[in-house]
Amino acid sequence: MSFLLHHGDTRHLTRLMETKPFGVVWERCAYLEKLLMYVERCSSDYDPGDLQAAVEHVLNAARPLAQRVRSAHSLARVSRLVVAAERRLDDLSHRNQT
């Protein structure tokens, strides 16, 4: 994901949406944070519906992480991710309405 972001390669959103994050909680959270950044990078290259689906994928994977974390730091990180994804989804919904 870092490679794709660094090189501005936005051709892989659909494939990345199909990928389930693995690893311990912080690794899953880091992957989802990068995926949300990737969705941002893809904004001009994809239909808003596809972008919404990608953000929903992030939310669906991030919300259960909040149940698995033990430290306040990890909970705060997951919460920030969920809030950022919800905001992005809201922005995309408004863009679809106009």
Query: pLDDT tens across 20-52, in order?
Result: 889 999 999 999 999 999 999 999 999 999 999
Domain edges within the chain: 2-97
Q: Which of 17, 91, 92, 93 is nearest to 61 (CA)?
A: 17
Give the pLDDT score at 93: 85
In this prediction the pTM is 0.91
Give every CB contact of residue 21 below 8 A, 6+ residues apart in sequence.
27, 28, 31, 32, 61
Distances (CA, A) of 28 to 32, 63, 67, 85, 94: 6, 11, 13, 15, 29
Is residue 96 scored above 80 in pLDDT? Answer: no
Contact 52, 26 (CB under 8 A): no
Is residue 98 scored above 80 in pLDDT? Answer: no
Q: How far apart, in whole angstroms, are the C-alpha atoms of residue 79 and residue 25? A: 13
The mean per-residue pLDDT over the stretch 58-65 comes to 95
